[in-house]
């Protein structure tokens, strides 16, 4: 019997009900599958398989009946469609991979499956994770459940829309230049990008290998802590960029992480840095108002606000859009109609097959980035563009370390505006690129960062507060966000009718 309140439960609450046997995993899975069918017009999902999901749920119930109490056992989730999966097709939002079936699961997928989580399906995304609005998907755009005429952000837009609309309790996402944090901000949910290398990239369809990182998207910091604990950990045999660091139980960090915090001031002793470059004319007034109100709440909790500077912030956009397309050009060269992906039906010779297969398989934005990347890596331009961008990238990382000598966490807006209308920036890719101005620099530095619901702006659309930590300080970020969420209810708000 379906329980109408199940979709309003957090991951932690649902896990507790499953552990107490008050609800079964099959019942929860059926409930969410029903909601996915009812809200198909949001475009959040690209693939579901009810039989596969229910088989996983029955296996989880058997483990629960046997006394297994793994923290995430039986909880449903869905995966961004850049993680390969055996039981569901993987397209990366592209016609190039239409109907592709992987013979193995991505490490992130297999780790969460080992925890007993039930996969509900695959979530929509910008093609090969290239975009800021999810309107670059080759199949259909995902819609923001707060206003279905607006984007949910990208590239993890399907993940964000599904969590915000209560179609799933949580989802996986990937963040190359802000693709977890920005959609989380635009849809009013919580998302965290861990330190580069914390989560294995094995089985993640590659966009930019030195930037791509997996992370969880859920309603709260508590839920993200539970998910990240299950996702993160070393994978040295299969991912050369994986960190040789043991798995961490991030739930243990959900207490005050300051110096001598009290119940009244749990963040006492925590220094929060405010980069002057994040609070200038480029950020809309409604976003700044919500962010400053959130910062005032953090002050009430005992934190101290200090001014810091990240002078190379403006250069993060040109640096990112040299490095990321260069890596994309290399990574996507394998999709040629021979080794992987779509092959044209008609062609005259091998060269013609390459051209037609790639032209038919890739969308405009992917083609644009491949061409840019090939250009900056070509003879005569490598030193002028790619090498110089890598040098500036190191300087951007050094800027952050100088700032962290004055503070513990850096805070500011996630996106300069609230969600925009679907198609509004389709003809102006540079305008779309500018939406990532506050997230790109920390990605280039490989730092952990998260988005926390912080209020609403123009049109009643959500605004996120960005928290950036030093390397391996995900626990401190989650702790700070958790204390903020215990004092506010922004993360509990949901779109009307959901």
Domain of 115, in residue numbers: 6-253
Q: How many structural domains compose the chain?
A: 1
Please report the pLDDT score of residue 339 as a whole number. 78
For the chain, helix (H) and strand (E) counts, in that order, are 15, 11
Residue labelled with tokens 């051209």: 355
C-alpha distances in Å from residue 442, one per residue of 15, 83, 228, 277, 496: 33, 23, 19, 13, 33
Residue 283 placed within a domain: no
Residue labelled with tokens 């204390």: 483
Q: In the beta sheet, which residues pair with residue 125?
A: none
Residue 50 placed within a domain: yes
CA 19 to CA 80: how far, in whole Å? 27
Please report the pLDDT score of residue 260 as a whole number. 56
Q: And the tokens for 358?
A: 């790639």
Is 58 assigned a catalytic role?
A: no
CA 254 to CA 90: how far, in whole Å? 35
Instruction: Evaluate whether 407 touches 306 at the Cβ level (below 8 Å).
Output: yes
Residue 275 placed within a domain: no
**Closest residue by Cα to residue 229 from 308, 336, 115:** 115
Please report the pLDDT score of residue 1 as a whole number. 42
Q: Cα 376 from chain centroid?
A: 27
Which positions ≥6 away from 316 have C-beta within 8 Å? 396, 437, 440, 441, 444
Instruction: Evaluate whether 126 touches 476 at the Cβ level (below 8 Å).
Output: no
Is 80 assigned a catalytic role?
A: yes
The CA angle 312-317-320, to the nearest 5 degrees, is 105
Tally of residues, the chain:
498
- Residue 382 DSSP code: I
H/E element holding 359? helix 350-361
Q: What is the pTM (predicted TM-score) of this model?
A: 0.96
CA 496 to CA 498: how far, in whole Å? 6
Domain harbouring 140, CATH code: 3.90.1300.10
Please report the pLDDT score of residue 379 as a whole number. 84
**Closest residue by Cα to residue 54 from 137, 105, 120, 147:** 120
Is 2 assigned a catalytic role?
A: no
Active-site choice (24, 179, 229, 432): 179
Residue 485 placed within a domain: no
Residue 449 placed within a domain: no
Residue 44 placed within a domain: yes
Active-site choice (24, 80, 193, 432): 80
Instruction: Evaluate whether 358 touches 335 at the Cβ level (below 8 Å).
Output: yes
C-alpha distances in Å from residue 133, one per residue of 126, 183, 186, 361: 7, 8, 10, 20
| Dihedral, CA of residue 473, residue 476, residue 477 and residue 478, to nearest 10 | 120
CA 161 to CA 263: how far, in whole Å? 34
* pLDDT in 10s for each residue of the chain, 498 residues: 455 589 999 999 999 999 999 999 999 999 999 999 999 999 999 999 999 999 999 999 999 999 999 999 999 999 999 999 999 999 999 999 998 999 999 999 999 999 999 999 999 999 999 999 999 999 999 999 999 999 999 999 999 999 999 999 999 999 999 999 999 999 999 999 999 999 999 999 999 999 999 999 999 999 999 999 999 999 999 999 999 999 899 999 997 554 456 677 899 999 999 999 999 989 999 999 999 999 999 999 999 999 999 999 999 999 999 999 999 999 999 999 987 789 999 999 999 999 999 999 999 999 999 999 999 999 888 989 999 999 999 999 999 999 999 999 999 999 999 999 999 988 888 888 888 999 999 999 999 999 999 999 999 999 999 999 999 999 999 999 999 999 999 999 999 988
First-to-last C-alpha distance (Å) of the chain: 20
Which positions ≥6 away from 198 have C-beta within 8 Å? 213, 228, 232, 243, 245, 448, 472, 474
Residue 313 placed within a domain: no
CA 248 to CA 447: how far, in whole Å? 17
């Amino acid at each position: 019997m379906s329980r109408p309140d199940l979709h309003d439960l957090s991951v932690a609450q649902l896990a507790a009900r499953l552990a107490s046997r008050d609800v079964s995993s099959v019942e929860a899975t059926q409930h969410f599958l029903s909601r996915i069918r009812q809200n198909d017009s949001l475009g959040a999902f690209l693939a579901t398989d009810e039989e596969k999901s229910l088989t996983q749920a029955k296996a989880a119930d058997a483990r629960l009946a046997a006394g297994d109490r793994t923290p995430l056992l039986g909880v449903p989730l869905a995966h961004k469609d850049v993680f390969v999966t055996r039981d569901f097709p993987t397209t990366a939002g592209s016609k190039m991979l239409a109907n592709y079936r992987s013979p193995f699961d991505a490490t992130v997928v297999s780790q969460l499956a080992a925890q007993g989580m039930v996969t509900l399906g695959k979530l929509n995304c910008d093609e090969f994770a290239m975009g800021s609005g999810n309107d670059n998907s080759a199949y259909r755009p995902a819609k923001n459940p707060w206003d279905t005429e607006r984007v949910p952000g990208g590239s993890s837009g399907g993940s964000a829309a599904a969590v915000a609309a209560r179609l799933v309790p949580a989802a996986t996402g990937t963040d190359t230049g802000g693709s977890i944090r920005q959609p989380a901000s635009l849809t009013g949910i919580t998302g965290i990008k861990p330190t580069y290398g914390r989560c294995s990239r094995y089985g993640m369809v590659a966009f930019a290998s030195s930037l791509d990182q997996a992370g969880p998207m859920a309603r709260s910091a508590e839920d993200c802590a539970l998910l990240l604990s299950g996702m993160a950990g070393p994978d040295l045999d299969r991912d050369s960029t994986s960190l040789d660091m043991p798995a961490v139980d991030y739930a243990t960090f959900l207490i005050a992480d300051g110096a001598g915090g009290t119940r009244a001031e749990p963040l006492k002793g925590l220094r929060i840095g405010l980069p002057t470059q994040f609070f200038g004319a480029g950020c809309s007034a409604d976003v700044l108002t919500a962010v400053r109100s959130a910062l005032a709440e953090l002050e009430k909790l005992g934190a101290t606000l200090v001014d810091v500077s990240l002078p190379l912030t403006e250069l993060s956009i040109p640096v990112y859009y040299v490095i990321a397309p260069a890596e994309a050009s290399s990574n996507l060269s394998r999709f040629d109609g021979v080794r992987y992906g779509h092959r044209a039906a008609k062609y005259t010779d091998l060269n013609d097959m390459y051209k037609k297969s790639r032209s038919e398989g890739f969308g405009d934005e992917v083609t644009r980035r491949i061409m840019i990347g090939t250009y900056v890596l070509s003879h005569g331009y490598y030193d002028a563009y790619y090498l110089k961008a890598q040098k500036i990238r190191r300087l951007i990382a050094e800027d952050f370390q100088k700032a962290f000598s004055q503070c513990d966490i850096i805070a500011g807006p996630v996106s300069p505006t609230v969600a925009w209308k679907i198609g509004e920036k389709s003809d102006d890719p540079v305008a779309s690129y500018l939406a990532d101005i506050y997230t790109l620099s920390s990605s280039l530095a490989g730092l952990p960062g998260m988005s926390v619901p912080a209020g609403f702006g123009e049109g009643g659309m959500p605004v996120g507060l960005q928290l950036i930590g030093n390397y391996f300080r995900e626990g401190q970020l989650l702790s700070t966000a958790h204390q903020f969420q215990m004092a506010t209810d922004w993360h509990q708000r949901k779109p009307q009718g959901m």
